[in-house]
Chains A and B, each alone.
Chain A
Amino acid sequence: MSEDFQAFLSNLPQAIANGLVRGSIYALIALGYTMVYGILGMINFAHGEIYMIGSYAGIIAVAALSTLGLGGMGGPLSLAVVLVLSMAFAMLVSGSIGFTVERIAYRPIRGAPVLSPLISAIGMSIFLMHFVMVAQGKDYKQFPIPLHDKLVVTVIKIGTPSLGSWWPEGSVELTLLDLLTLAAAFGLMVGLYVFVNKTKLGTAMRAVAQDKTMAGLLGIDIDKVISVTFVTGAILAAAAGVLITIRLSQTFYTAGYIAGMMAFTSAVLGGIGNIPGAVLGGLVLGLAEDITSTYPGGSDWKVVVSFVVLLACLMFLPRGLLGERVGERA
């Protein structure tokens, strides 16, 4: 037992690093939940599926590029081209599906009490998941292993010293993919922050979240702003989908279900509707998950742990860590 605990302690720094990387991906997905909640006051249950579709689109793009002879194996430049193009394609596909989902399933019933949009969203989630299953098959889709191996190489290794007899020494390794993930995730988040806070459209988004009628009276096309919100959220989720696919080197049509659950928990944890909150919540949840699975036998329980976090948060901290920010409806 104490030996287990020693091993746990020596692995803890690495778990923290992994948790931050994982958490930044959760944060990317959580942003979509929180933005839609902020503007429509509803949980977009289909958001996890948008993320899953992004991961499929990423693999499709990589496969298409390698068919064209751009395998990404010819050096750092070609690798970068493959990554950027596949990410862009995934964003295009997920973004357009996010747009369509809102048009089909949510816009016609906007303003209805919460039960109708919620059921419609659940229906959309199931529909998309099984659409991908029917369209692409029930097997795992593989990200090219050589490309994966090229990205998952340790580029930073730091030894952590032992602290007396109770804390054994350990080490932290970060791969190229970890660094790319962190950079992409935080780059996108900064971009989102600037978009929402510094641009006209972003300000309009906040205005619509607070008072749709007034926003309309000022000449803001509410439908368009809501579409932009869905597309933005979908783009961030697509990026997360591609990053995860490279990490796990595969994807599956149910991938959106658990990831969506985790990301939603992150959004609630940070305070739903609150954009910095979603980022913080994602990081906290990622850490919780990786630290739990580092503990011997813990990985069987990580879903349970996340759910307990969600429940505890809803019970004792219903407005989340940074406070809920849902537009006051007039």
Chain B
Amino acid sequence: MLRLDSVHAGYGQIEVLRGVQLNVERGEIVTLIGANGAGKSTTLLAVSGIVHVRSGTISFEGKSLAGLRSHEVTSLGIAHVPEGRRIFKSLTVLENLRMGAFQRHDNPGIAQDIEKVFSLFPVLGERKRQLGGTLSGGEQQMLAIGRAVLARPRLLLLDEPSLGLAPLVTQTIFSVVRELNAKEGTTVLLVEQNARLALDTASRGYVLEIGRVVAEGPSRQLLTDPRVIEAYLGEA
């Protein structure tokens, strides 16, 4: 479904991705783990057309994403929940969700999906007229995911959804991600610092290090890989 072929990309003079090779099949949850600064976020940004790809190709459902701008990538069915949530602080919860459905014009369907998000995250329904900036960190993450769901994506890119959240909130969010994958068939590419949680959720994983994939395989296999255990799972 999503395929990255020796992708090189970076910022200004600095090259961050040095030939990333990665693919995600329909219906999977795949995780991308790695240390801080390895280039995980940059990989997702390259898919979304925000970071310029210097060489290599990225394709989605067989179509090349080269030269597309971020809103055009979105219109192909990819939703990206970036690092740090980036909720519109002075828009209400409802308006934030509606922005997620910006490219859709089926108003009844949008209303239905908003109700669906409220049933997944009831707390958002209680706060729907509140400004985004007044939400707590966990609520903002829920809103960010809900907003992405409103686009009815076939592929969901999630960047560190657990960052800075209490374990209980993290569990809620991850169970919703699993539910979206199981019930709606949404394919997920999950970037996580918390490698154990990520590998528990995903069926396959990639390990990224200074801009290259250095290990990959089914989650069970990575969980037992001594190098992965030493570097990312620690003694936990």
Contact = CB atoms under 8 A, between A and B. Distances in A.
Contacts of B48: 217
Interface string B61-81: 000000001110011000110
A211 B69 contact: no
A219 B152 CA distance: 12
B70 A204 contact: no
Nearest to A213: B50
Contacts of B69: 216, 221
Contacts of A203: 91, 95, 98-99
9 contacts: A210-B88, A210-B91, A213-B86, A214-B86, A219-B102, A220-B71, A221-B71, A222-B71, A330-B84
Nearest to B85: A214
B40 interface: no
A277 to B, nearest CB: 14
Contacts of B91: 203, 206-207, 210
Nearest to A217: B80
A133 to B, nearest CB: 39
Interface string B88-103: 1111000100111011
B124 interface: no
Nearest to A224: B71
A47 interface: no
Contacts of B99: 203-204, 207, 215, 218, 220
Nearest to B103: A219
A217 to B, nearest CB: 5
By CB atoms of chain A within 10 A, which of B86, B90, B100, B102 has the most?
A: B102
B77 to A, nearest CB: 10
B204 interface: no
A325 B50 CA distance: 26
Nearest to B84: A330
B143 interface: no
A139 interface: no
A157 interface: no
B154 to A, nearest CB: 14
Contact of B102 (A200, A213, A328): A200
B137 interface: no
Contacts of A214: 82, 86, 88
Contacts of A216: 50, 69-71, 74
B151 interface: yes
Interface of B: 48, 50, 69-71, 74-75, 79-80, 82, 84, 86, 88-91, 95, 98-100, 102-103, 147, 151
By CB atoms of chain A within 10 A, which of B70, B79, B147 has the most?
A: B70
A226 B74 CA distance: 19
When A and B form their complex, which 10 residue pairs have the shortest distance between CB atoms, in order from nearest? Answer: A219-B74, A216-B70, A214-B86, A219-B103, A217-B80, A221-B71, A219-B71, A219-B102, A207-B88, A210-B88
A220 B86 contact: no
Contacts, number: 63
Contact of B151 (A200, A219, A222): A219
Given A200-B98, A216-B70, A217-B82, 20 more contacts: A203-B91, A203-B98, A203-B99, A204-B99, A204-B102, A207-B91, A207-B99, A210-B89, A211-B86, A213-B50, A213-B70, A213-B86, A217-B70, A218-B71, A218-B102, A218-B151, A219-B71, A221-B69, A328-B89, A330-B86
Contacts of B80: 217
By CB atoms of chain B within 10 A, which of A204, A215, A218 has the most?
A: A218
A218 B74 contact: yes
Contacts of A220: 71, 99, 102
A1 to B, nearest CB: 51
A222 B74 CA distance: 13
A81 B99 CA distance: 39
B129 to A, nearest CB: 13
Contacts of A219: 71, 74-75, 102-103, 151
Given A203-B95, A218-B99, A211 B88 contact: yes
A142 B13 CA distance: 58
Nearest to B86: A214
Contacts of B98: 200, 203
